[in-house]
């Protein structure tokens, strides 16, 4: 498989960028980290995960929707309750958390790799969660995900990748510009 085809198959954008820089341009992990504003460890981990995923037979959507929905519902409940011990059990050891704030809203600026780092990030997020926030499981990119509202305003959309019964990736969009579009789509409106 060519590197461009492989990069297109890679689900995580940061993983695809790391993979292409490593395979196509023979960059070292240190060089990749500098170019993509990652730590060396994150660059190595993203490359390893991308290479493993691309070497494995394609089975990205292997969990049944009801299994994935149950996992997302558990994630939502544990995050709302602040039960990080239970959250830890839901996350894969090498989970990747990425956020898109569009430079306008604070988010995970670069991918957070690993269960402990993701839990540290979640600890900070759950401290700021107020009773005014409501979350609901909804279909996001064809699979169960989360919509988070503050009153009538959509403030976050999260999609999840599940592997082997664990959450392997979380992609959270908090960029207000993108959320305006999502809000219109949810309301059934166009453009």
Q: Give residue-wise pLDDT tens across range 87-105.
A: 899 999 999 988 887 776 6
Band of residue 49 on the pLDDT scale cut at 50, 70, 90: confident
Predicted confidence at residue 62, as pLDDT, reads 57
CATH architecture of 3-55: Orthogonal Bundle (1.10)
Tell me where in the chain the CATH 1.10.10 domain(s) lie: 3-55
Q: Which of 3-17, 37-51, 57-71 has the lowest mean pLDDT?
A: 3-17
Burial 9-23 (b: 16+ CB within 10 A, else e): ebebebbbbbbbbbb
Q: Rounded to two decimals, what is the model's pTM?
A: 0.66
The mean pLDDT of the chain is 82
Least confident segment among 33-42, 50-59, 157-166: 50-59
Q: How far is CA 124 from CA 107, 120, 127, 176, in A?
A: 11, 7, 5, 20
Q: Which residue in this structure is represented by tokens 């995923």?
A: 53
- Residue range(s) of every CATH 3.10.450.50 domain in the chain: 65-186
Q: pLDDT, tens digit, for every residue of 122-135?
A: 887 777 666 668 88
Give ∠ CA 42-115-69 in degrees, rounded to 5. Answer: 115
Per CATH, the number for 65-186 is 3.10.450.50
């Amino acid at each position: 498989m060519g590197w461009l085809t492989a990069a297109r198959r890679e689900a995580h954008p940061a993983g695809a960028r790391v993979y292409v820089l490593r395979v196509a341009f023979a960059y070292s992990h240190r060089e990749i980290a500098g170019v993509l504003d990652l730590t060396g460890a994150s660059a190595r981990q993203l490359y390893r995960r991308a290479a493993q995923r691309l070497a494995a037979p394609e089975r990205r959507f292997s969990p049944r929707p009801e299994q994935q929905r149950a996992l997302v519902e558990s994630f939502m409940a544990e995050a709302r309750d602040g039960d990080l011990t239970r959250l830890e059990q839901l996350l894969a050891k090498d989970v990747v958390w990425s956020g898109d704030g569009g430079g306008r809203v604070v988010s995970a600026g670069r991918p957070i790799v690993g269960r402990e780092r993701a839990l540290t990030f979640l600890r900070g997020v759950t401290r700021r969660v107020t009773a005014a926030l409501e979350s609901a499981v909804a279909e996001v990119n064809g699979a169960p995900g989360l919509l988070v509202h503050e009153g009538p305003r959509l403030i976050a959309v999260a999609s999840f990748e599940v592997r082997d019964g664990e959450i392997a990736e979380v992609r959270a969009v908090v960029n207000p510009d993108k959320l305006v579009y999502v809000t219109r789509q949810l309301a059934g409106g166009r453009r």
